[in-house]
Amino acid sequence: MRAARPRLLPAALALAVAALLTGCGKSAPEPRPSGGPARALAPVAPQGAVSVATRNTTRLGGPDAATDAAAVARAVYPGLTSASRPAAVVLVDERDWPAALAASVLAGAPTGAPVLYSEGSTLPAVTRQTMEALHPLGAAALGGVQVIRIGTSATPPDGYLTRSLPAAGPAVTAAAIQRLAQRAGAGAPRQVIVVPANAPRALQMPAAGLSAESGAPILFVTRARVPAPTAAALARLHRPSIYVIDSSLLGRLVLSELGRFGPVTEITGTGAPAEGGSPAANAIAVARFTDGTLGWGVKEPGHGLVFVNSARPLDAPASAPLSATGDYGPLLVLESATRIPPALATYLGDIQPAYTAAPNFRPVRGVYNHGWLIGDERAISAVTQAEIDSLLQISPRKGSEEAAVTQSE
């Protein structure tokens, strides 16, 4: 495999992106003073999710978390047929980060409930419109519930059957969500994902996609102890496999205590920035990790990938449905709207699709990567989108690489 370095946007591709944005009814990006008004390149319109697309990427969302969540929900569930409507949606107060993260498990099978956001007790117009467009069918295992409210007093549109989980601390809320997912038909999980509650949100973000894809619930611990609600949940599950993200932020006593409830696996390559890790490297470690029963194991071409900005952590739960359906993409994290971290550029180069010029082999027989980009240009710039597109594009092998592949064929 070969590592790719960040590359400058070719002039031709820049013109193509500008033309694409113009074709979508948007002008090419113009310089904006710092702190200026947000640009909504990909808002949610009444007809559905409006996206800005290149050959290998699709952008969903807009200037805020509620819009991003709505755009993802509308892309995954157009709501035009009964088969394209979800059983339920999850409504979470955007101020309750632990609840939003733990709710990601509900985006996976069997519930398939996308996360939408309230603003305290207020239901944003984009969230209300999305609920009405999706018109959830009702989760049969939950008595026909259409809206699962977690820690919010916002009121869904009239006529929706609702179940509420009260606001509580991270450990209490996460344990309650695990029980709800089990009642919803997921059964008792054999794996759980443990996240240090004290970790920076940017390092917790990859747990959202992993939970949605695997069905493993997210539970919280602290640096010093395993909270009683988490301990009770683990005990009820009778020695599940426990996967710890960011174990470097936990004391050895906590890891030892977790081991009393089941075998513990630390996902390596993670760590707080002060300890040499970074949000981008942490997400790559989660994307690469697998032990055969849990994990993405994305180490080769042919995958969906979800890109978010670490400064917008709520985009991780919002994009969880993209990890649980379609092309099932792990979450990858950018640390700036305008720059691809070197570690991420190298990783994308390692998994970049390629084909040989050998006889009878053409790109149409290759494998492909596709990237979902979440948010407007303040989250991921148009130039960065074009650079990601280039890193995902299937390319011919050259030199010794091509000769080696040709001989093997």
Residue ranges of alpha helices (H) inside 182-278 are: 201-204, 206-214, 228-236, 252-259
Per residue in 277-289, pLDDT (tens digit) is 699 999 999 999 9
Q: Is 237 among the domain residues?
A: yes
Is the pLDDT score of 10 beyond 80?
no
Is position 312 within any domain?
A: yes
Check residue 404 and give its pLDDT.
39
- State the residue for tokens 């999710």: 49
Instruction: Give per-residue pLDDT as tens, 188-247.
Output: 899 999 999 999 999 999 999 999 999 999 999 999 999 999 999 999 999 999 999 988
Domain that holds residue 46: 11-28+38-408
Residue 370 to residue 75: CA distance in whole angstroms: 15
What count of other Cβ atoms lies within 10 Å of the Cβ of residue 121?
10
- In this model, does residue 354 exceed pLDDT 70? yes
- pLDDT beyond 90 at 380: yes
Contact 222, 197 (CB under 8 A): yes
In this predicted structure, the answer to whether residue 306 has a pLDDT above a threshold of 70 is yes
**Measuring CA to CA, which residue among 118, 139, 138 is closest to residue 182?**
139
Domain count of the chain?
A: 1
Picking from 102-111, 249-258, 399-408, which range would have the lowest pLDDT averaged per residue?
399-408
Extended strands (E) in 28-146: 44-45, 48-49, 52-53, 57-60, 89-93, 115-118
pLDDT score recorded for residue 166: 87
**Do 339 and 273 touch, CB atoms closer than 8 A?**
no
CA distance 300 to 305: 12
What pLDDT score was predicted for residue 46? 66
pLDDT at 174 over 70: yes
The pLDDT of residue 42: 55
For residues 143-149, average pLDDT: 97
Within a domain: 171: yes
User: Is residue 33 in a domain?
Assistant: no
- pLDDT tens figures, 16-25: 333 333 333 3
341 within some domain: yes
Alpha-carbon span 56 to 390, nearest angstrom: 8
Residue 359: pLDDT band (50, 70, 90) is low
The per-residue pLDDT of the chain, averaged, comes to: 85
Instruction: Please report whether residue 17 resides in a domain.
Output: yes
Taking the C-alpha atoms of residue 194 and residue 202, their distance in angstroms, rounded to an integer, is: 15
- Using the predicted structure, report yes or no on whether residue 374 has a pLDDT greater than 60: yes
Asked if the structure places residue 1 within a domain, the reply is no
Residue 287 lies inside a defined structural domain of this protein: yes
